[in-house]
Amino acid sequence: MSDNRISGQIPYSLGNLSLLNSLDISSNDISGTLPSSFAGLSSLGRLFACGNRFNESIPCSALPPALSSLSLSMDNHQIVSEVLFNNQNMLSYLELSNCVLNISTTWVPPFQLAQLSLTSCNIDGQIPTWIATQFSLTDLVLADNNLVGEIPSWLWKISPSLRSVNLTGNYLQGHIFADSSTWTQGLLLDVSRNELSAHISSIWWRLPNVSVLLLNNNLLFGDISSSIEALSQIQLLNLANNKLKGIIPPSLGNCSWLEVLDLGNNSLHGSVPDEFGKLIALYSLVITQNLLTGQFPHSITKCHGLQFLDIGHNLFEGNIPKSIGNLSQLRVLVIKQNSFRGSIPSEISRSICRYWTSHPIIYQGSFRQAFWACKP
């Protein structure tokens, strides 16, 4: 029954469906709470109730005893304590959001989770130590809480099956002592929107297996350095809104899997390396608001799959080359606030109009929003 406009409270009689094994009422407008009759749903293994407006506390006896998957979001920041989960020894998937998670530091969960997501749960202090008991975790999300302090070293060693860690939107500080050498290939690591401070070049060698790395909106500093080629599996890299200086290292062109790169709003100088022409998988490049100089980066025109290009707010000069017409997939081009001169080559319109003529869409907002709205 998900993704409707169902309102009101859950009928008590729904607890009479003794053979029910899966219930999805997510993304509705349901209020109240889970009825205590749910305790009688002895066959219920999966309960998905996120995206509603539960405005009453969940009774400790309301959760069925055989749950393996639970997804739940609250309204008005209702308190959720460990008592709610004391009988949930079969739980392997837990997703909570928009609540006040109040769990003691000495709690030892009765379950072993594979996936844990605690988003906007008003978690204060350091990353909860009870998570260290979850030795089978593959995916961990602790986004948009009030976490402070350093990321504990045990987090990176918690499970050899770990494939994604999302800590965005907190107040975490210090260094990133991650070591992905023992992790599953294709790891996703999002520590954006924190207060992490470290020399950026000290990070690369720790993350050889990371495919998605989001470090934007932190306090990282220093030059990127040639050791960035250690990110041999990287597909998406976001370093925007930090305090990075120095040049863009040519070795970045050796990251052959790279599809999305954002270096915006730093203090990078010099030119765009010729080695960027080797990034044949690249479809989004943002280097806006830096101190980059030289001619229009000709190497970029060799990235024939490029769809979004933002080089605005730099110190580029000279003419816009006709070779920009080689970017046959280009959807959005931002070159404002530079020192380009001369005429606008007709190849720009042929390149961009070629796409928008064959893929018309109606959009509102910025060009960047338009790109992300229609990207593959």
pLDDT tens digits for 95-142?
999 999 999 988 999 999 999 999 999 999 999 999 999 999 999 999
What pLDDT was estimated at residue 59? 86
d(CA 309, CA 283): 8
d(CA 32, CA 25): 13
**Which residue would you say has higher pLDDT here, 174 or 371?**
174
pLDDT tens digits for 329-354?
999 999 999 999 999 888 887 767 65
Question: Exposed, middle or buried: residue 21 (CB in 10 Å: 0-12, 13-18, 19+)?
Answer: middle
Sheet-wide strand order for 171-174: 124-125, 146-150, 171-174, 195-196
pLDDT band at 61 (very low <50, low <70, confident <90, very high): confident
Q: Specify whether the CB–CB gap between 92 and 66 falls below 8 A.
A: no
DSSP character at residue 247: B
Residue 362 has pLDDT above 80, yes or no: no
Residue 285 has pLDDT above 80, yes or no: yes
**Which residue would you say has higher pLDDT here, 369 or 55?**
55
Residue 372 makes CB contacts below 8 A (sequence gap 6+) with none
**Angle, alpha carbons 71-134-51 (nearest 5°):** 15
Strands 187-190 and 269-270: unpaired
d(CA 353, CA 351): 6
pLDDT tens digits for 146-156?
999 999 989 98
Q: Specify whether the CB–CB gap between 87 and 66 falls below 8 A.
A: no
Domains of the chain and CATH, by start: 53-374 (3.80.10.10)
Residue 363 has pLDDT above 70, yes or no: no
Residue 50 has pLDDT above 90, yes or no: yes
What pLDDT was estimated at residue 376? 36
pLDDT tens digits for 217-238?
999 999 999 999 999 899 999 9
d(CA 287, CA 314): 8
What pLDDT was estimated at residue 217? 97
Greatest distance between any 2 Cα atoms in the chain: 76
Q: Specify whether the CB–CB gap between 172 and 157 falls below 8 A.
A: no
Evaluate if pTM is beyond 0.85: yes
Q: Specify whether the CB–CB gap between 51 and 75 falls below 8 A.
A: no
Residue 279 has pLDDT above 50, yes or no: yes
d(CA 187, CA 25): 31
d(CA 122, CA 102): 9
